[in-house]
Every structure is written in structure tokens, then in C-alpha cells.
Structure 1
Amino acid sequence: MAQEQLQKEKVEIDYEKVQSSPQFKAFLAKKRRFIIPMTIFFMIFYFLLPIFTSYTTFLNTPAIGDISWTWIFAFSQFIMVWVLSSIYVRKASSFDKEAERIIRDQLK
């Protein structure tokens, strides 16, 4: 919304000034503190299935009838992707608002 307003006003934004501002640096640090742990969690959770199925046998035991723990773990990966995506979409919205606020503050 603020971006549209800036485009309507034809305001020149000095992105180098924005990038060197302390607010922007703090914003990037905050964003990294969110993204890096989520990425690490995702990668570990994703690669555990092929590692466990290749080097162990405990996922091959039945969990519910003929369904083994391997299938439950594989299905949980779909759930994990949806949950992480939902969390990221909500957080990205707040990141966008904060980035627009930083740009507006630099124009003053």
C-alpha cells in the first residue's frame, strides 16, 4: 500500500541510504534470526526420512495396521511444509510492513 503511494508520488528512493541505515541493518538481522532456524529445521526434518530409511530399520515397524512409521513420517513432511509455509507467509507480511516503514522513514 505504501509502495503504491510512493509510486504515485514518483519519489526517488535512495536505496544505498536505506541499506546503510541502522534500522535496515537491524531489520535484516531480525529477518535472519527467523529464516535461518526455520531453514535448518526444514532441511534436517526433510533429510531424516531418507537417512533413517537407508541406515536404520525402526521406521519399518508397523504403526497402525499395515501402515509403517515410514509412511507416517513421509505424510508428516507434507504437514510440516504447510505449517512452515503458513508461518512464513504471516511473518513475511510483517517483514514487508517493516521494510516499507524503513523506506518511509528514510524519505523524511
Structure 2
Amino acid sequence: MAQPKLVREHKKENIDFEKVESSPQFKRLMENKKKFIVPMTIFFLVFYFLLPISTSYGTFLNTPVFGDITWAWVFAVAQFIMTWVICSVYVKKANTFDKDADQIVREQIEEGGNA
């Protein structure tokens, strides 16, 4: 697995990651990540399990939309679309998290937090 760019640049320096981890900026970053990841995960799981539960215990998805295509098929295709959308949103958001993490490490290095 490739190391982040900032860590590679300062590989010879000893970065005090324990100090980085205890910093308020890092704690804020982790809280922001949690506020993003937890709701997205809950949404994904609910949306994903709604199809098998709905088809097992209900009949409303068996009604036709047009021709022989039922709402169950529409919902199943929507799951693929939803997966790609969530993946794209996460990748964009993860890039901002990476930039924030690099900035936190950079600030720690500038403060003379090296061992």
C-alpha cells in the first residue's frame, strides 16, 4: 500500500503521530469523518436490505411499472446507481479528508514536533 505523499516526503524525519493523533485538529477531522461515514453507511444498508425485505414480506414491488417491468426491477437497478453515486461522493469527500490530514501533519512538523 502506498504511503501518503506527505509521509513519503518526510520519511527520514520522525513524525510524532501520537502528538498528531492527540491534537484538536485531528480529533475534529475524525469527528467530521464519522459524521459523514456513519449516515452514508446507514443509508446504504437500509436501501440495500429494503429490496429483499420488501419482496419477501410485501407485494407492492410486484406491481408493473410498464409492460412486464415491475417496481422490484426498477429498485434493483436503482441499487446499482446508488452504489456508484455513493462511491463517487465518498471518493470526493475522502480527498478532502486526505488534504486535511496532510495539513495537520504539516502543521505538526512546522511546530517542531519531530523527535
Per the normalisation by structure 2, the TM-score is 0.89
State the shift of 1:75 in Å.
Answer: 0.5
Q: Which residue of 1 aligns with 2:9?
A: 5
Deviations 1:36-68 (A, max 9, x none): 110000000000001100000000010111001
Q: Which residue of 2 aligns with 1:14?
A: 16
Distance in structure 1 (CA, Å) of the matches to 2:95 and 2:87: 12
Distance in structure 1 (CA, Å) of the matches to 2:97 and 2:7: 14
Letter in 1 for 2:6: A
Matching residue within 35, 38, 46 for 2:37: 35
Task: State how 1:75-86 maps to structure 2 within 5 Å.
Answer: 75-86=77-88
- How many percent of aligned residue pairs carry the same amino acid? 58
- Aligned CA-pair RMSD: 0.9
- Per chain length, whose mean CA-contact separation is higher, i.e. which structure has more relative contact order (CA < 8 Å, sep 6+)? 2
Distance in structure 1 (CA, Å) of the matches to 2:32 and 2:106: 19
State the shift of 1:3 in Å.
Answer: 3.1
Q: Which residue of 1 aligns with 2:113?
A: none
State the shift of 1:5 in Å.
Answer: 1.9
1:104 matches 2:112: no
Higher helix share: 1
Residues paired across the two proteins, number: 106
Q: Unpaired runs of 5+ in structure 2? A: 111-115
